[in-house]
């Protein structure tokens, strides 16, 4: 088993056993910042090598997917899960958006196996952070409600994740491969080590959801494991449609399957305050993140192989 | 050394979710607070444990020293806007300040 996953399991176990282990929040902030910048930088460097306009159709596909996914599961949450409107809208937004941590694990998984993927996937990651937030807000409040677009815009476009990813992309793009080389030891060579520390903390955070999982798990457990698999299927189909390589297809499936826990919780807390954050975080952090990291990623690679007729 | 006679002002303390920081500080300035101090916090309350380990579980404590009227205005405002949906407590107390013109 990949050591970074062992770090996650270690964090999970330590959290469940209530070990005296707590990463200072400044460390978590720093580590997640490094991950976001690394992913952005790597994408920017690669993007410098291809004409910018050629990625626009894929960006459009990503935006449409980001709008469609939350709309698909909202009725399920309302009628099968019997959630109140703001709760259903908030959970739908979490699942329509993406998880950078899951993406990073998938990138590391591919790197270990020396599988290539398209350079613009980090760009699609940024793009996919955003549409679901808007869909979630509209689902919760209705189209005609009076909205403070300025603060919503701030939440959507100036959240930590989006800003760091875009900053990294631009720096990588402007500096190019040679320009970035001197800072490579921190951002690229240490990537897996940083990811390991990040996953340790994620294990602790996921374990902290255990008590609410007992309370809400009856619906959320099947929901949080089935939705990513179905969404990964959709992502695989779209990846194939966009003519991506198996590696790219798998990463796009991971983007579809993952659920946000940075950008969306903050945006929903501000824009849909009636939604109970415990529900969406239990689902996205307590169930879907561990599922994707431990089971999903190898499974979505199988999807990509089948789709490309190589499996 | 002779001790300066202090003037009494109100100390308003708000403990709430970190996510509210931007909105809350905007409100405070609009309602007439001359300044405030924010520290990261963690703890436990009716809405569960707030561990402060990452974005969504962090709390902040905001201290504002101000005149009685401003303190009442701020307390009423946050009660109306945030009490229903957010983890929040507001405390009021008297403090002695040495430079009353600052508050």
pLDDT tens digits for range A205-215: 999 888 888 88
Contact check, Cβ <8 Å, A261/B58: no
A152: closest chain B residue by CA: B23
Q: Nearest CA of chain A to the CA of B68: how many Å? A: 29
Q: According to CATH, what is the number of the domain A23-307?
A: 1.20.1530.20
Give the residue from chain A lying closest to B18, CA to CA: A266
**Separation in Å, CA of B4 to nearest CA in chain A:** 40
Residues 6 or more apart whose CB falls under 8 angstroms from that of A280 comprise A87, A90, A91, A93, A94, A264, A265, A268
Q: The pTM is what?
A: 0.90
Check: CB of residue A40 under 8 Å from CB of residue A122.
yes
* CA–CA gap between residue A157 and residue B101 (Å, rounded): 40
Residue B49: closest C-alpha in chain A: A208
The minimal CB distance from B17 to the residues A25, A32, A269 is found for A269
Domain locations along chain B: 7-102
pLDDT (tens digit per residue) in A59-101: 999 999 999 999 999 999 999 999 999 999 999 999 999 999 9
* Fold classified for B7-102: Alpha-Beta Plaits (3.30.70)
Residues B55, A269: C-beta atoms closer than 8 Å? no
Buried b (16+ CB within 10 A) or exposed e, A55-68: beebeebbeebbeb
List pLDDT tens digits, range A273-295.
999 999 999 999 999 999 999 99
In contact, A246 and A296? CB cutoff 8 Å:
no
User: How many angstroms away from the CA of A149 is the closest CA of chain B?
Assistant: 14
Mean of per-residue pLDDT scores for chain B: 89
By the 8 A CB rule, do B46 and B96 touch? Answer: no
Query: Between chains, do B19 and A266 touch, taking CB under 8 Å as contact?
Result: yes
Identity of the residue in B23, B53, B56 whose CB atom sits nearest the CB atom of A23? B53
Look up the ipTM and state it: 0.79
Q: Domain extents for chain A?
A: 23-307
């Amino acid at each position: 088993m990949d050591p970074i996953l062992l770090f996650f399991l270690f964090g999970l176990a330590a959290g469940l056993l209530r070990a005296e282990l707590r990463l200072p929040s400044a460390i978590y902030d720093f580590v997640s910042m490094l991950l976001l910048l690394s992913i952005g930088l790597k994408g920017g460097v690669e993007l410098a090598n291809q004409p910018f306009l050629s990625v626009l159709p894929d960006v459009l596909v990503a935006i449409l997917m980001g709008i469609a996914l939350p709309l698909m599961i909202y009725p399920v949450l309302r009628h099968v899960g019997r959630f109140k409107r703001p709760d259903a809208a908030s959970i739908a937004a979490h699942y329509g958006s993406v998880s950078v941590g899951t993406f990073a694990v998938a990138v590391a998984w591919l790197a270990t196996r020396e599988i290539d993927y398209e350079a613009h996937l980090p760009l699609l990651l940024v793009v996919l952070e955003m549409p679901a937030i808007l869909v979630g807000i509209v689902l919760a409040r209705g189209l005609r409600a009076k909205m403070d677009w300025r603060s919503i815009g701030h939440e959507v476009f100036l959240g930590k994740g989006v800003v760091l990813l875009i900053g990294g992309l631009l720096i990588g793009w402007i500096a190019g491969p040679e320009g970035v080389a001197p800072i490579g030891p921190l951002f690229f060579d240490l990537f897996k080590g940083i990811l390991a520390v990040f996953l340790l903390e994620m294990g602790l955070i996921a374990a902290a959801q255990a008590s609410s999982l007992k309370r809400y798990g009856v619906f959320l457990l099947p929901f949080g494991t089935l939705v990513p698999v179905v969404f990964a299927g959709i992502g695989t189909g779209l990846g194939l449609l966009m003519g991506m390589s198996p590696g790219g297809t798998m990463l796009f499936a991971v983007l579809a399957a993952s659920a946000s826990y940075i950008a969306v919780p903050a945006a929903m807390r501000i824009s849909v305050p009636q939604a109970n954050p415990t529900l969406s975080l239990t689902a996205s952090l307590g169930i879907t993140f561990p599922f994707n990291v431990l089971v999903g990623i190898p499974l979505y690679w199988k999807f990509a192989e089948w789709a490309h007729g190589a499996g | 050394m002779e001790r300066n006679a202090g003037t009494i002002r109100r100390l308003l303390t708000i403990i709430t979710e970190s996510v509210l920081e931007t909105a809350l500080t905007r409100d405070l300035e609009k309602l007439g607070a001359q300044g405030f101090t924010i520290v990261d916090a963690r703890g436990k309350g009716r809405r569960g444990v707030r561990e402060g380990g990452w974005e969504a579980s962090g709390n902040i404590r905001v201290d504002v020293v101000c005149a009685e009227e401003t303190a009442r205005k701020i307390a009423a405002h946050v009660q109306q806007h945030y009490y229903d949906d957010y983890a929040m407590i507001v405390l009021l107390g008297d403090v002695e300040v040495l430079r009353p013109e600052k508050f």
